[in-house]
Amino acid sequence: MGTRETVRLTADVVAFAPHRGVLHVLLIRRGFEPFAGRWALPGGHVDAGEQVETAARRELAEETGIAVDALRLVGFYTAPGRDPRGRYVTGAYTTVLPDMPAPVAADDATAARWLPVSDALATGLAFDHAQIIRDALKEN
């Protein structure tokens, strides 16, 4: 038998919106380690008894003040080492909004803003969030 490891479940949201012909993505600046100060997708831990999609919607609202109804699953990200705190599996969801509502950073986000996707991918995002954004682009 192999060694056991605790696996934690999280949910992330890739929210896109067009602005003046350029696709933007909603990001938050992390307030805590790991990756404190880096841009990341809104997301966080799934609470006990909570569905992953429900957690994604909740985390988006808690960290940015933006509520959405429709989310589509991008996929589950399971690679060992994707989070330096231990084994984390995330369910990533995407949505496309018709415009860019003003985000309000809260919870453990120190800032929230819309960035052009190309700029976001060039900033050195936390975790494997650049890959999640690239995968979500294929879904939209």
Question: Structural domain tally of the chain?
Answer: 1
Residue 12 lies in a domain: yes
Each residue of 93-107: pLDDT tens digit? 999 999 999 999 997
Residue 1 lies in a domain: no
Range of the domain at 135: 7-139
pLDDT given for residue 3 in this prediction = 84
Residue 2 lies in a domain: no
Residue 92 lies in a domain: yes
pTM exceeding 0.85: yes
CATH number of residue 132's parent domain: 3.90.79.10
Provide the pairing of β-strand 7-19 with 87-96. Answer: parallel
Residue 102 makes CB contacts below 8 A (sequence gap 6+) with: none
Q: Hey, which residues does 16 pair with through a beta bridge?
A: 25, 96
The tokens of 28 are what?
Answer: 């938050």
